[in-house]
Homo-oligomer: A and B are copies of this chain.
Amino acid sequence: MAVISPSRRLRRTPFSDGVEAAGVKAYTVYNRMLLPTVFESVEADYHHLKNHVQVWDVSVERQVELRGPDAARLMQMLTPRDLRGMLPGRCFYVPIVDETGGMLNDPVAVKLAEDRWWISIADSDLLLWVKGIANGYRLDVLVDEPDVSPLAVQGPKADDLMARVFGASVRDVKFFRFGLFEFEGREFVIARSGYSKQGGFEIYVEGADIAMPLWDALFKAGEDLEVRAGCPNAVERIEGGLLSYGNDMTDDNTPHECGLGRFCDTQTAIGCIGRDALLRVAKEGPLQQIRAMTIDGDRVPSCDRAWPVYGDGHKVGQITSAAWSPDHHTNVAIGMVRMTHWNSGTVLEVETQDGMREAVVRPGFWA
């Protein structure tokens, strides 16, 4: 593993002091900002996440804010998911596509009000696409990045910890909905969501000044719950089938190839810029699609590049995320496979930087 040179361009977050005090061991860079990847070890972090509760600095999930009379119209231009039935207080996982139907991002859209939205982005400067579209179509809408840094509280004891800091009513928040809750006299959007399958919340922390006081309060309240600093876990998110933009898909891929067809209402999402391009693939289905896979043998090397996947002597896909699973005692992986070879049980060959391995297509993800 190489060392990373610090610079202002790789932005610190309002929680970085807490993350460092908690002993962060490695980072990735996501939206030009530091995202912790390891505290104790990927394996120890994994077991702890599945049994206790963790506080994650996910400030890198930057928000693109839309404000103004054309905000809802602009939001619908960006995604093939039909947003007409979406009420304020709801979060939607939305594929964002360009005019060819290629994925530009896979964020969570947060509807604060009819004329005010946050788009909680994955790793691409979606702000620039949204600003370009708003300008080109001369929409009446303000588009910018607010001072909001999400803090995730994840794991089976997340409800208990959150109730101690925000009150018992936080337990009533339903999946992918949010409520407003108070801390030190300020209101926070808190949603039941997060980049793990262990359950929990995301606090949209508005104002960098309140970040460390909230961080400290969560750790103080959770001492007997064994609360720890954590981060999205490379193994747990693969088991759960949570995709990573830039790893598992790029702008070359349609949402349907990513298995996100269920978030596309191509018939009714009127106004979506990529709608025409997606109509055919929505009807006929994609030629390749994301699959859960296992890779045999012991621990794979780090998946730092796309690994070609072969079937019957031809390239039929690639694996883009892979890691050893302590719970499943095998390497769990996410790949894109052509339809000729995507059926569950198909045995394939995968070319890692350290040589060939056998891979098997799974019926689905693990979680």
A234 to B8, CA, bound (A): 13
Fill in one digit per residue for A233-267: 1 if any B CB lies within 8 Å of its CB, else 0: 01000000000111100000000000000000000
B7 touches A1 (CB 8 A): no
B6 touches A27 (CB 8 A): no
Q: Which of A1-38 contact B (CB under 8 A)?
A: 1-10, 12, 24-30, 32, 37-38
Known: A99-B135, A126-B128, A128-B128. A4 touches B29 (CB 8 A): yes
Measured CB to CB, the closest approach of chain B to A78, in angstroms, equals 10
Q: Is A94 an interface residue when CB atoms closer than 8 A count as contact?
A: no
A246 to B135, CA, bound (A): 23
Quick one: which of B25, B29, B104 contacts A128, CB cutoff 8 A? B104
Q: Name the CB-closest residue of B to A122.
A: B9
Q: Is A182 an interface residue when CB atoms closer than 8 A count as contact?
A: no
Best-surrounded residue of A7, A24, A124, A304 (most CB of chain B within 10 A):
A7
Measured CB to CB, the closest approach of chain B to A136, in angstroms, equals 1
Q: Is A123 an interface residue when CB atoms closer than 8 A count as contact?
A: yes
A1 to B24, CA, bound (A): 11
Q: Is A132 an interface residue when CB atoms closer than 8 A count as contact?
A: yes
Q: A2 contacts which chain B residues (CB < 8 A)?
A: 3-4, 6, 24-27
Count of chain A residues near B, Cβ 8 A: 51
A246 touches B8 (CB 8 A): yes
A124 touches B128 (CB 8 A): yes
B123 touches A128 (CB 8 A): no
A25 to B3, CA, bound (A): 7
Q: Is A125 an interface residue when CB atoms closer than 8 A count as contact?
A: yes
Known: A126-B128, A136-B133, A136-B136. A303 touches B3 (CB 8 A): no
Q: A5 contacts which chain B residues (CB < 8 A)?
A: 1, 26-28, 37-38, 234, 302
Measured CB to CB, the closest approach of chain B to A28, in angstroms, equals 5
Known: A125-B128, A131-B129, A302-B6. A29 touches B26 (CB 8 A): no
Q: Is A290 an interface residue when CB atoms closer than 8 A count as contact?
A: no
Q: A9 contacts which chain B residues (CB < 8 A)?
A: 28, 30, 123, 244-247
Q: A273 contacts which chain B residues (CB < 8 A)?
A: 135
Best-surrounded residue of A5, A10, A131 (most CB of chain B within 10 A):
A5
A3 to B21, CA, bound (A): 16
A222 to B168, CA, bound (A): 70
Q: A25 contacts which chain B residues (CB < 8 A)?
A: 2-3
Known: A124-B125, A128-B104, A137-B136. A3 touches B1 (CB 8 A): yes
Q: A131 contacts which chain B residues (CB < 8 A)?
A: 98, 129, 132
- Chain A residues engaging chain B, CB cutoff 8 angstroms: 1-10, 12, 24-30, 32, 37-38, 98-99, 104, 123-126, 128-137, 234, 244-247, 273, 302-306, 320-321
What are 29 residue pairs bridging A and B, where the CB atoms are less than 8 Å apart in the complex?
A: A2-B3, A2-B25, A2-B26, A2-B27, A3-B3, A3-B26, A3-B27, A5-B38, A6-B303, A7-B28, A7-B244, A7-B304, A7-B321, A8-B247, A8-B321, A9-B28, A9-B123, A9-B247, A10-B28, A10-B29, A29-B29, A125-B125, A128-B132, A129-B129, A132-B135, A132-B136, A133-B136, A134-B136, A136-B137
Inter-chain pairs besides A5-B27, A7-B244, A132-B132, 4 sampled, C-beta below 8 Å:
A3-B26, A7-B302, A8-B306, A133-B135
